[in-house]
Structure 1
Amino acid sequence: MANFDYKHLAALAEVIEQQSFALAAQKLFISQSAISQRIKALEEHIGQPVLIRNQPIVATLAGEQILSHFKKVKQLEHELVPILYPDKPIKPMKVSLAINADSIATWFIDAITPILKNHLVELNLIIEHEERTLDKLRSGQAIGAVSVIEQPLKGYRSFKLGKMEYCLVASKGFAQKYFPDGVNQRSLTMAPAISYDHKDDMHVRYIAKHFNLAASEYYCHSVCSSEAFVALVKQDVAYCLLPKLQIEQELNSGQLISLCPDKKLVETLYWHSWVLVKGVNKKISEQIVKIGREKLAH
């Protein structure tokens, strides 16, 4: 097989990122017809489709593998250009990372801030459940990920960061209203909870394990923000699982209370990055591992 034409790979990457052939064409300063022709040429070259043309537009398995390859090549190219062309203006390096919301709300910003201050980086944080962040590596959408899964994908390696401890919390007023006799099956069926979204099974697993209740037996708000979790709990309208690291001040002040101190949930987090990572991406990886290990429990 002949080598890839990287104009075709760039077209695929832009279509997936922009979720539009027209917007991808604008980004690459070519016609929409040219984008379609490049995708068609790539599919003819490898003998199979690279896109599923639905909404959203998604890559096939072959397309995901090609995207992952293209992202890695772009990383290496970004590190090589300043060496070969020292007088050429440097463009921001695009870095896409898949991170769970609780890490964003607790330790991750401290990890990435020094990189943003000292390097020309255009950061794209993809917020995803910690069980599914590796899907973003597999699809080529991200080059690094925080995950609860230890086993790395082929071509990647994982680093243990530490443990994120979760506790079931509420305000004192909420607890007095809904749990006057403690947290049990009966009281849980009446008390409103919060979960991240319908895919978030952390709350469901916790309640099922400790109280033998199915998700259909109680009601739960869906709120896609860890910070909003805290705000709503403080307003006496719900209870939820929160990282202890995120609410240490509220627990110490008594603004929030732990409903079940003897029933905790602990998730071990891992950082996944490409085996051949170097340059700025290597610094990003090292910084994430360093701060993650400093902030998380061991």
Structure 2
Amino acid sequence: MYDRDQLATLSAVVEEGGFDAAAARLSITPSAVSQRIKALERQARRILVRRTRPCVATEEGAALLRLARQIAVLEGEVEADFGSADTAGTHLPIAVNADSVTHWFLSAVVPLAARHGVRLDLHVDDEQYTAALLREGSVVGAVTTSSAPVQGCAVRPLGATRYRPVAARPVYDRWFAGRDPAEAFPLAPRVDFGSKDVLQTRFVRGLTHRPCTGPAHRVPAADGYHEAIRAGLGWGMFTDGPAREAAAAGRLVLLDADRHLDVPLYWQHWKLSTTVLDALTESVCAAAATILVPPSP
């Protein structure tokens, strides 16, 4: 049996990124934090925390981190049932990609937070990498492209986000007008959301089976990314609705009206049935169904 205070300390160290910050959060000394972690590591006979900046859980530590958070969720629900006045609400760390946050995810979790008094902690990352946060024990659930269940987790298909290639009129005129799209896309300047964003290159490979050789700009902010494309920095992939709306209004040009890229998404979550976690799963699936499309065959 693992000590509850030691597990809570492990969670605090990983969430806060260091021993000093964890000590401040728990209102104990850094020395006490160190002693608790060392005691937990002695019991587990494993190194559980990498003493880096920020501190991160090891693979073995991730399993205990998941246990610590499951205990915290259960305790939070009991406190809510008893009407505990001093509870800050159940902490719900969730991994999700930026486009989902922008277009549908908040409609799932904002009402949930109000209804159940939970504290949302959204970890925004590329959809190809969110499952890793679940594997590390950092989150209770993740919107991800991975259909293979993380150990100890269940998977629900959500549908697919549909993307279309767009550009401002000057970019279209300079690089695409009168040209074969298969020739134009690899050469034209593009805008990537960040180093993990492969939507543009995936679309081009699917169309041409060639790599992109044109300039690649990176704008890792949702509003900034859209504005960069509208301003003419390069072409990029917009989700279906905004792409069509911008094209209809004359703000952007659909570069290939006949082609799109569908990215299937899945909801992975702990196999732990509680009122809050069950409500979270149902809310996420219901909200996704209003926006996402069935994946292409």
TM-score, structure 2 as length reference:
0.92
Contact 2:130–2:142 (Cα < 8 Å) also in 1: yes
Shift of 1:184: 4.5
Q: Which residue of 2 aligns with 1:200?
A: 197
Structure 1: state its 5+ residue gaps: none
Residue 68 of structure 1: aligned partner: 66
Structure 1 pair 183–169 and aligned structure 2 pair: CA distance change class (3 A): farther
1:87 to partner: Cα distance: 5.3
Name the SS for the 1:107 alignment partner: helix
Q: Hey, what's the Cα distance between the residues in 2 that align with 1:56 and 1:266?
A: 35
Aligned residues: 294
Candidates 131, 136, 139, aligned match of 2:133: 136
Alpha-carbon distance in 2 for matches of 1:171, 1:183? 18
Matches within 5 A, 1:232-251: 232-251=228-247
Partner of 2:91: 94
Decide whether aligned partners of structure 1 residues 88 and 229 sit closer, same or farther in structure 2, where only a CA change above 3 A counts: closer
* Larger CA deviation: 179-188 vs 285-294: 179-188
Q: 1:292 aligns with which of 263, 288, 292?
A: 288
* 1:222 lines up with 2:231 in the alignment: no
Quickly say closer, same or farther: Cα 1:261–1:277, change in 2 above 3 A. same
1:275 aligns with 2:271: yes
**CA offsets 1:83-124 (integer angstroms, 9 cap, x no match):** 3x4454442221111001111121112222222333322111
CA drift at 1:142: 0.7
**Structure 2 Cα separation of the partners of residues 14 and 245 of structure 1:** 40
TM-superposed CA distance for 1:188, in Å, is 4.1
Aligned equivalents of 1:231, 1:274: Cα separation in 2: 37
| Per-residue Cα deviation, 1:49-106 (whole angstroms, up to 9, x for no partner) | 01111233221110011111111111111112233x4454442221111001111121
More deviation, 132-141/248-257: 248-257
Matched residues, percent identical? 27
The SS at the match of 1:247 is: helix
Work out the CA distance in 1 between the residues paired with 2:12 and 2:84.
28
SS of the aligned residue for 1:168 comes to: strand
Deviations 1:165-197 (A, max 9, x none): 111111222201222333546544553211121
Question: Where in structure 2 are there 5+ consecutive unaligned residues?
Answer: none
Aligned counterpart for 1:37 among listed residues 21, 35, 38: 35
Moved more, 271-280 or 288-297: 271-280
Q: 2:113 matched to 1:116?
A: yes
